[in-house]
Amino acid sequence: MRHLISINDLDREDITYILKRAEEFEDVARGERNLKILEGKILGNLFFEPSTRTRMSFEVAMKRLGGDVVNMTAQEASSIAKGETLADTVRVVSGYCDAIVIRHPLEGAARFAAENSSVPVINAGDGAGQHPTQTLLDLYTIKKECGKLDGITIALVGDLKYSRTIHSLIKALTLFETKIYLVSPDALALPDEMLEEIGGDVSRARLYEVIEEVDVLYVTRIQKERFPDEEEYRKVSGSYRITLNTIKNAKDSMIIMHPLPRVDEVDPAVDKTRHAKYFQQAFYGVPVRMAILSEVML
Ligand code: CP
């Protein structure tokens, strides 16, 4: 694996391999075992959009494996503020590091970065495009918490239009034998062209009709920052919320996932139920990103 730009870069076998590698790193991620396989390696974090989980879990993954990280976070404190192009920034940073992680508001920016980099580039989210490392940790969470990927029924809830997490995950899920329900307000529905492209057992549903059947309830935030204007956002803001009442007929084993951050779409009262797995999911980002970094750097 050289670059990781889209989940389409991986097939079922690649994904299965990365998830298996991640499992081998879990004790290292928890700090229970020392493994310095990335000693002497440096990761360059180029974040042109805010991030807590993705940036920090890449950093923790590198450091737990003995490597180091340099960050470019505040654009106003870098030469981007002087008008430096993305291509030039990537050319320079790829001379300093052994791999680059990039998050950018423009779809296609990560692929463009890869074309201008002399080292592997990992896409940490490009606009409403893709977020492949999130998908790998989502699949890892399902495998760990449900015990399998084949045979699961999953409801994808919320902003299916702009969520890059959903756009990556839905493609990966169709590589496995999954049944997918799309649950969203009409204005936030999965784009038709994406629905046609993915194939698989995918249908629109209302949550109350399918909640008893689902193994995974995957909830997303409304991606306010992607809306063309504030008025369009206001029309859908607060249009769905998962509460104790929403999940009262769910299976005991049903898990709730969320890539986080959440705003108001999951009632905090749900956090105390056995269903809530979103904080565990965020932790799984560390071993999964260890697996990815070791693939691209070694
Ligand atoms: N899930 C996710 O991408 O979170 P951050 O925006 O905090 O990185």
Secondary element (H or E) of residue 232: helix 230-236
Chain position carrying tokens 């001379």: 95
| Backbone torsions φ then ψ of 103, nearest 5 degrees | -120, 135
| Helix (H/G/I), strand (E/B), else coil: 72 | strand
**Non-local CB neighbours of 90 within 8 Å, separated by 6+ positions:** 46, 100, 102, 113, 116, 117, 121
Instruction: Work out the number of other CB atoms within 10 angstroms of the CB of residue 221.
Output: 19
Question: Taking the model in full, what pTM does it have?
Answer: 0.97
Q: What atom in ligand 1 is closest to the CA of residue 49?
A: 6
Three-state SS at 44: strand
Encode pLDDT of 49-102 as tens digits: 999 999 999 999 999 999 999 999 767 777 777 889 999 999 999 999 999 999
Chain mean position to CA 141: 11
Which tokens belong to 137? 């940790």
Per-residue pLDDT for the chain (298 aa), expressed as one digit of tens each?
Answer: 699 999 999 999 999 999 999 999 999 999 999 999 999 999 999 999 999 999 999 999 999 999 999 999 767 777 777 889 999 999 999 999 999 999 999 999 999 999 999 999 999 999 999 999 999 999 999 999 999 999 999 999 999 999 999 999 999 999 999 999 999 999 999 999 999 999 899 999 999 999 999 999 999 999 999 998 999 999 999 999 999 999 999 999 999 999 999 999 999 999 999 999 999 999 999 999 999 999 999 9
What pLDDT does residue 1 have? 61
Ligand 1 mean position, distance from CA 209 (Å):
30
Question: CA-to-CA distance for 279 and 260, rounded, in angstroms?
Answer: 9
CB 259 near ligand 1, within 6 Å = yes
Helices (H), 76-185: 86-96, 109-115, 132-146, 164-173
Q: 64: CA distance to ligand 1 center in Å? A: 20
**Token pair belonging to 39:** 């000693």
Distance 7 CA to ligand 1 centre (A): 17
Using the Cα atoms of residue 166, residue 170, residue 173 and residue 175 in order, give the sign of their dihedral: negative
Here the tokens at position 50 are 């805010």
Cβ 163 under 6 angstroms from ligand 1: no
Report the distance separating Cα 171 and Cα 132, nearest Å: 10
Q: What's the pLDDT score for residue 167?
A: 96
Of the candidates 122, 66, 70, 76, the residue with the CA atom closest to the CA atom of residue 92: 70
Q: In which element (H, E) is residue 204 found?
A: strand 201-204
